[in-house]
Amino acid sequence: GGIITQTPKFLIGQEGQKLTLKCQQNFNHDTMYWYRQDSGKGLRLIYYSITENDLQKGDLSEGYDASREKKSSFSLTVTSAQKNEMAVFLCASSIRGVNYAEQFFGPGTRLTVL
């Protein structure tokens, strides 16, 4: 077994601020993902990474940057927080191949922008 940890659990920012979210996994999984979830609805893919130093854009990548410097960690940066933005950011990992393996999710970071 393994675990995914996300920090911080809650993040409050100001409009225009640059904010960084972090994710660590000890599954030794190759692929890691960042999703955004609004109002308890579906997940939208922001970025994913199939190996260390690899980055692939998802449908929602505009306004975000990502970094995968180690196999076990994946960071997401909100480049300029939007006023009244509220969402949960979920990190996930899978053992291999993006499409054909179960994804395991972290507990999420809840973002509020004032």
Partner 1 sequence: QQKVQQSPESLIVPEGGMASLNCTSSDRNVDYFWWYRQHSGKSPKMLMSIFSNGEKEEGRFTVHLNKASLHTSLHIRDSQPSDSALYLCAASYQGGRALIFGTGTTVSVSP
Instruction: Pick from 11, 22, 44, 60 the residue near partner 1 by CB under 8 A.
Output: 44
Show Cβ contacts of residue 71 under 8 Å, excluding neighbours closer than 6 positions.
Answer: 28, 30, 51, 52
> Nearest distance from residue 42's CB to partner 1, in Å?
4
> Nearest distance from residue 73's CB to partner 1, in Å?
18
91 touches 34 (CB < 8 A): yes
Query: If binding means CB under 8 A, how many residues of this protein chain bind partner 1?
Result: 21
**Segment contacting partner 1 by CB under 8 A, of 7-15, 21-29, 68-76, 98-106:** 98-106
**Contacts of partner 1 in 70-89 (CB under 8 A):** none
Instruction: Pick from 10, 62, 84, 99 the residue near partner 1 by CB under 8 A.
Output: 99
- Taking residues 47 to 66 in sequence order and writing x for each that binds partner 1 by CB under 8 A, - otherwise, the string is -x-------x-x--------
Q: How many Å apart are CA 77 and CA 62, to the nearest integer?
A: 11
**Segment contacting partner 1 by CB under 8 A, of 8-16, 17-25, 37-45, 76-84:** 37-45
